[in-house]
Structure 1
Amino acid sequence: MSQIPVSLSRKLRFSQIVVFEQVLRSGSILRAAQALNMTQSAVTKVVHELENQLGAPLLVRGNRGVSATEFGELVAKRAKSLLAELRYMTEEVNAFRTGAAGHVFVGTLISASAALLPRAIQLLKAKAPAVVVTLRVAQMDQLLPALIAGDLDLVVGRVPEDGSWHAKSPQLEAETLYREPLCAVGGVHHPLASHTATGLMDMLEFPWILPTRDSSLRLTADRMFHKAGLPGPSNVVESLSVMTNVALMLDQMTVGLMPHSAAQQFAQAGLLAVLPIAGLPEFGEIGCFAFTGRAPGPAVELFRNCLREAATGMVPPAKSDSRSRPS
């Protein structure tokens, strides 16, 4: 009588497959019972049940122990495949539970993507190479709704000073990782690069790159000029494209503003110089946004810990301030 897969699956127990495979591996009912911490009679009973359910003998008993029948060899081949899949599933489940596997979706702005995120990703990959990290670069007004919707697990970037993000989305929390200074930058041969110190007034004669008006950094820049009693530069390009901005500053005349960590990377690469400009405000707090309405997976938690660890190496020293709204 032919077996129907659904009917057979209801009869069979996975433990029967485990016992049968162990008997063949041991070559003896007695040794299999010892390996499985079962009695010999219990192992024999399981094999008999399996034979009855499959409708044919599985084992041949001889002076040297037991071996598989032709039918038993067929079942044993499939049993090994099933047990291999179980082992793979067990490994993957354990890896997922410990955060060693999974997928983390991170939204970011320039404030975090220059130094903090690469360091955090390197730490994560050293601990859990199988975790996939997908980055999405956009403005905060695009990233936070995506975080609430579940398209992102975390958003890493500058925490807006006015707290409007929390008023609009109280289910979000932000953990401050460190505070970032703001730098003025230009080409390595910019006339101001060789000065010991200068002020904003001396920079107004040069072309400027400023953030677009919908960005929080633009508000910081506008307040900077207002506080200094200056009207602001008249020769301006508005851009958030990092590579375009760097290319423009290679004319050795154009100047711009960058968070300290990004400016240092371009300076170390010999592309830009940090200009010695006094009176610049702080860029602000760099933090990690999360949605409180969902329990984060192990891989996401592991990545958050990597962000904290990476932030301790940033300049100035990080502070571990976890809160649901900016101070």
Structure 2
Amino acid sequence: MSQSPISLGRKLRFSQIVVFEQVLRSGSILRAAQVLNMTQSAVTKVIHELEHQLGAALLVRGNRGVSPTEFGELVARRAKSLLAELRYMSEEVNAFQQGTAGQVLVGTLISASAVLLPRAIQLLKARAPAVVVTLRVAQMDQLLPALPVGDLDLVVGRVPEDGTWRTRSPQLEAETLYREPLCFVGGIQHPLAAPTPATLRDLLAFPWILPTRDSSLRQTADRMFRDAGVTPPANVVESLSVLTNVALMLDQATVGLMPDSAARQFAQAGLLAILPVPGLPDFGDIGCFAFTGREPAPAVELFRSCLREAAAGIATPATA
């Protein structure tokens, strides 16, 4: 049975889309009912109505909850986009009626979370206290796909050098904000935390923290060893957890790699020392990714301007 936009629009209600998306997000009709402040039977009724109107099953019910059918996944992708547009419209209405308001959903990586994002959020809050900023920390391959469907408004982090993300996501754009140097760090009492410069080979005598193998920073680290003709260290912990890494380096022996702006933040707090090792490669360009297929909400545009202002105070802007 084919569905025209007019016939489908007459049948469907936005509240049904909200309920369906929450069921998928919760993985359970019971948990979705609790979040939505509805009864379990009321949620079940909405799903049944939606399945009847669309002419196919949306969910598979099992002992561990519910999961989408293949048809349900198709509807879910469009449902997320519809809800994102509804959120943008509500934010524009609120901004028009009350002044700047709304929500900004931001995905980020370690490269932006230590300095750039806190500064940008402070600028935003000084100008628009009612805007809610929600942060999600993950890897780039998890964050970028969330932009087209509306799960995120912006992704802030290192721009991959290979450019393959442009092929996979042609509707995404990246605005380069600045170029980030890379540095070695250790505890403030680390033996190499002296003014005398050290070499990469000097560091091999110590335990290391390296980024996980699926991260872009690990690729940079591997290339650094290769270019220096040095065998990578064997005594390694692989981690992208900033708090864990800082705690490990408090042993005054472990060595880690960090973007320069993050390292300086910890050094100023007296937690870490920047180890004087010349000749390190740059960490790369730090930028802001966005989806070009939707008009951004006013709060999102305001936050982008705050990111630009915060980036200008960190380093010299990079050339694109």
Inter-partner Cα distance in structure 2 for 1:94 and 1:142 = 31
Inter-partner Cα distance in structure 1 for 2:271 and 2:119 = 21
* Correspondence list, 1:1-327, <5 A: 93=93, 95-96=95-96, 100-315=100-315, 317-319=316-318, 321=320
Inter-partner Cα distance in structure 2 for 1:175 and 1:263 = 24
Q: Deviations over 1:66-97 (max 9, x none)?
A: xxxxxxxxxxxxxxxxxxxxxxxxx9836248
Contact 2:106 2:155 in 1 (8 A): yes
Inter-partner Cα distance in structure 2 for 1:105 and 1:96 = 20
Inter-partner Cα distance in structure 1 for 2:195 and 2:283 = 23
Inter-partner Cα distance in structure 2 for 1:167 and 1:212 = 24
Q: Deviations over 1:74-127 (max 9, x none)?
A: xxxxxxxxxxxxxxxxx9836248971011000000100100001100110111
**What secondary structure does 1:190 align onto?**
coil
Distance 1:314-1:290 versus aligned 2 partners, 3 A rule: same
**What secondary structure does 1:282 align onto?**
coil
**What secondary structure does 2:295 align onto?**
coil
Inter-partner Cα distance in structure 2 for 1:159 and 1:96 = 34
Q: Which runs of 5 or more structure 1 residues have no equivalent in the other structure?
A: 1-90, 322-327
Contact 1:105 1:133 in 2 (8 A): yes
Q: Deviations over 1:149-193 (max 9, x none)?
A: 210000000000100111111111100000000010000000000
Shift of 1:318: 2.0
Inter-partner Cα distance in structure 2 for 1:199 and 1:243 = 26
**What secondary structure does 1:311 align onto?**
helix
| Residue 39 (structure 1) aligns with | none
Inter-partner Cα distance in structure 2 for 1:168 and 1:267 = 38
Contact 1:99 1:301 in 2 (8 A): no
Inter-partner Cα distance in structure 2 for 1:113 and 1:143 = 14
**What secondary structure does 1:193 align onto?**
coil
Contact 1:100 1:130 in 2 (8 A): yes
Q: How many residues align?
A: 231
**What secondary structure does 2:293 align onto?**
coil
One-letter amino acid of the structure 2 residue matched with residue 269 of structure 1: A
Contact 2:285 2:318 in 1 (8 A): no
Contact 2:94 2:102 in 1 (8 A): no
Inter-partner Cα distance in structure 1 for 2:250 and 2:318 = 35
Inter-partner Cα distance in structure 1 for 2:110 and 2:222 = 19
Distance 1:92-1:305 versus aligned 2 partners, 3 A rule: closer
Contact 2:191 2:253 in 1 (8 A): yes
One-letter amino acid of the structure 1 residue matched with residue 274 of structure 2: V
**What secondary structure does 2:270 align onto?**
coil
Distance 1:142-1:92 versus aligned 2 partners, 3 A rule: closer
**What secondary structure does 2:263 align onto?**
helix
Distance 1:99-1:297 versus aligned 2 partners, 3 A rule: farther
Q: Deviations over 1:253-276 (max 9, x none)?
A: 000000011100100010100000
Contact 1:96 1:102 in 2 (8 A): no
| Residue 25 (structure 2) aligns with | none
One-letter amino acid of the structure 2 residue matched with residue 261 of structure 1: S
Shift of 1:195: 3.9
One-letter amino acid of the structure 2 residue matched with residue 179 of structure 1: R
Inter-partner Cα distance in structure 1 for 2:97 and 2:171 = 25
Inter-partner Cα distance in structure 2 for 1:212 and 1:195 = 30
One-letter amino acid of the structure 1 residue matched with residue 206 of structure 2: F
What is the Cα-based RMSD across aligned positions, in Å?
1.8
Moved over 4 A (4+): 96-99
Contact 1:98 1:299 in 2 (8 A): no
One-letter amino acid of the structure 1 residue matched with residue 311 of structure 2: A
